Amino acid sequence: MNVAVLIMTDGRDELLDRTLQSAQGHLGGQVTRWFIHDDTGDGDHREDLRRRYPQAEVISASHHRAGFGGSIHRAWRWISLFSEADYVFHLEDDFILNRRVNLRAMARVLAACPHLAQLALRRQAWNADEVAAGGIVEQHPDDYVDAGDHDGNRWLEHRRFFTTNPCLYRRQLCTADWPTGAESEGRFGLGLLRGGLPWGVPGDRVRFGFWGARDSGEWVEHIGHQRAGTGY
């Protein structure tokens, strides 16, 4: 099982450094390759990233900024064509992990549950509604279904949204056409619910997952309070 880490960044180098250090500390030994997608549109910045992070391959095929949706579209196309990974751990440049994550266990669950588009890690409550409810899941508790297997793994399944918060998905998902422009994350998730998954799961069977039992708490911390990218 080969797992690649894809880190999306757009110039917030201080946050990126914290994110990469956290990922290496909590995922180390399970990752085959590291990729950083740089959306600054600055060739000098990309070369600086290559010098600072020799363990990672820095990818970007453009000299202009593509925005949130355009960056994922470009990164996924590159990975679908040139990466041999079986799974991709998706990580934006402003998240740190709170604990070690068992990527192999997550991958085994995805392999056994083809209806799951992803297994995401829960972050802290962020917007006012989440804070008032006590968390993402707590905001709509009945929309999340408890699931588990004989190996003791637990997760929650739902049909509310696809998230680009830290998550694991099959590399084959990168063959799906991530939309560019505004609200691409929401439009992508709705597209999966309507059209299904690239490996033949119809839309009405598609589910998204949060790793861990309902009471497992937060796995990651969102540390970016100001966005540098556009087109979310």
**Residue-by-residue pLDDT tens, the chain, 232 positions:** 899 999 999 999 999 999 999 999 999 899 999 999 999 999 999 999 999 999 999 998 667 899 999 999 999 999 999 999 999 999 999 999 999 999 999 999 999 999 999 999 999 877 888 888 668 999 999 999 999 999 999 999 999 999 999 999 999 999 999 999 999 999 999 999 999 999 999 999 999 999 999 999 999 999 976 544 444 4
Copy the structure tokens of residue 173.
Answer: 């998902």
Q: How does strand 116-120 pair with strand 207-211?
A: parallel
Coil, strand or helix: which one is 77?
A: helix
Query: For residues 87 and 35, what is the distance between their CA atoms, to the nearest angstrom?
Result: 13
Q: Under 8 Å CB-to-CB from 150, ≥6 apart: which residues?
A: none
pLDDT score for 225: 63
d(CA 133, CA 194): 29
Identify which of 65, 93, 62 has the alpha carbon closest to the alpha carbon of residue 78.
62
Identify the pLDDT of residue 131.
82
- CB count in 10 Å sphere of residue 149: 13
* R_g of the chain, CA atoms, integer Å: 17
Amino acid 28: pLDDT: 87
Residue 135 class from Cβ within 10 Å (0-12 exposed, 13-18 middle, 19+ buried)?
A: middle
The pLDDT value recorded for residue 104 is: 97
Instruction: Please give the Cα distance from 22 to 16 (Å, whole number).
Output: 10
